[in-house]
Amino acid sequence: MALSPAQRLADSREKDETLSALVACITAAGLSLDDKQLKTIEDWISSEGITGTALASAFTGTIVPKLHGLSYSVSLAIFAAFRGESIGGAGNRAGNQQFVIPNSNNTPDTPNVHHGARIAARSLLDVLGLDFARFQNVHGVPSVDEIVSGTTITGSTEPFAPTPFLVSESITGMNVALGVLANIISKMRFGHTQHVTVNVNHASASLSTHCNMWLDGNHYKQLIRAAAAAQENPHREFMQLFQNTFRAKNGWVYMYQRATDTPEGLLEGLGFPKEDIPRIYQLTKTSSETRHEFLRLLSDKIYSWPSALELEQHMIKLGRGAVVVPKSDEEFRESEHGKIAVNFPPIEILPQEQPGANWLPQPFEKLAGSQGKGPLSGIKVLEVTRILMGPQITCVLAGLGASVLRVSSKQLEDGKTVAMCLNVGKRSVYLDLKSEEGKRIFTSLVADADVVVQKGLAMRMVRWIGLDSEWKDS
């Protein structure tokens, strides 16, 4: 019995075999490819090591720039084929279209990205759990529905990025939600609201800002390569191939390498014989063909495990990295992680335990005139975070006019792309919090701040040196 194109794709080990099966899947969906589109797909498969069993980043952001130039329908067909789904299922971006914004002229007959963004904005604001009715009654702020409906959304009504995931809707909706919150603050501080416009294309492109950064005439990729060369990381090629998404017997597994993992430990953990590991590792160093051979060996080994979950639990017990990639919300809810996560709301707002008088919430100071001022003008924010989420939050606060001071250390520097993208509009200072002088300066900065944003490792450092009990009472 002949295999279907999707089955051929799932079993493919060679790049030519993968390309042939993928083109057959696209053709079976009633789509056609011109020579330019075919070359784009062929280059992507070759450069990324894409095969049916070694998916190699097709679920990650790297697929987006790689597949630019393809039609949206062809891009969806590629995602659907690799996920083993029907093309129609992958193309259903409508999501929860049951939500209708009251008194809105913006609800289209055919759902599109603009409407999806309004749905996303309203959903995000509901999750926050804020008392918007009080803002409306006490401060005369328009209703949330009025602000969301009144926001102008421009740009493409089709997804900006070639992906079936609701990327454009989500990031545009997040910016609309920020506009709602900014307008509430503006009304409380300046006595009036402002009109908000969000461009879908700009919002979507902001997710890959690091891909477009230049510093002193150098593109960010040049800076990353130079930094990697300076660090003389001998395992860079291994890491780029190992950290990918692979097919398992009953799902997908994303393999990753933590800073403390070694290639030898990871390969041995997967079950490769110890004596074969040097030869297998060397495949990552030699040529494009040997790197494809490495991916084939790796994908075969991963597929040999009884299940994705068993592999994940095995690697976790060894203290090494592997995580199951759920294919649906239902699958996540059935996982051990999901069963725990569903008991908690997406966002929790908890009061501080026995806060000092200065840590109680304070009303916004009213300001006369808003010319040249953001809604958060005059608000002092002290940031004690690193890497992604914390710097992103304070970057948004800085964009809304807050004065942000970032506290860090030479031993806790961010990567260059994070520093370039997420520290825009901030000031920063290095402090040695082990020294008495550093502790004194940090405590005075906390006392002077209106808001302290803390997260993870940076804050654990503060607790470790015993400062948290001091500044909570300041």
- The C-alpha atoms of residue 60 and residue 62 are separated, in whole angstroms, by 5
What pLDDT score does 279 carry? 93
Under 8 Å between Cβ of 62 and 48: yes
- The C-alpha atoms of residue 297 and residue 299 are separated, in whole angstroms, by 6
Note whether 119 and 201 are same-domain residues.
Answer: yes
Structural domain boundaries enclosing 131: 113-208
Q: What is the pTM of this model?
A: 0.70
Instruction: Using the predicted structure, report yes or no on whether residue 261 has a pLDDT greater than 90.
Output: no
Note whether 266 and 320 are same-domain residues.
Answer: yes
Note whether 377 and 461 are same-domain residues.
Answer: yes
- Which CATH number does the domain housing residue 413 bear? 3.40.50.10540
Closest C-alpha among 345, 454, 330 to residue 390:
454
For residue 412, CA distances in Å to 230, 340, 432, 457 come to: 18, 32, 11, 9
Under 8 Å between Cβ of 425 and 455: no
Model confidence over 304-348: pLDDT tens digits? 999 888 898 898 888 887 777 766 677 778 877 788 888 887 777
- The C-alpha atoms of residue 26 and residue 31 are separated, in whole angstroms, by 6
For residue 20, being part of any structural domain is answered with: yes
For residue 188, being part of any structural domain is answered with: yes
Note whether 270 and 198 are same-domain residues.
Answer: no
For residue 23, being part of any structural domain is answered with: yes
Model confidence over 66-120: pLDDT tens digits? 566 677 677 777 777 776 655 443 334 433 333 333 334 444 445 588 988 998 8
Model confidence over 133-147: pLDDT tens digits? 877 777 787 888 888
Instruction: Using the predicted structure, report yes or no on whether residue 63 has a pLDDT greater than 70.
Output: no
Q: Which helix (H) or strand (E) holds 324?
A: strand 322-325
Note whether 196 and 266 are same-domain residues.
Answer: no
What pLDDT score does 42 carry? 84
Mean pLDDT of 420-441: 86
Instruction: Using the predicted structure, report yes or no on whether residue 397 has a pLDDT greater than 90.
Output: yes
Model confidence over 275-295: pLDDT tens digits? 999 999 999 887 777 887 888
For residue 218, give the 3-state DSSP assignment: strand
For residue 339, being part of any structural domain is answered with: no
| Overall domain count for the chain | 4
Note whether 397 and 458 are same-domain residues.
Answer: yes
Note whether 187 and 251 are same-domain residues.
Answer: no
- The C-alpha atoms of residue 448 and residue 456 are separated, in whole angstroms, by 22
Tokens found for residue 6? 């999707």
Q: Which helix (H) or strand (E) holds 382?
A: strand 380-384
148-152, 210-214, 420-424: range with highest mean pLDDT = 148-152
- Neighbouring C-beta atoms of residue 193, cutoff 10 Å: 21
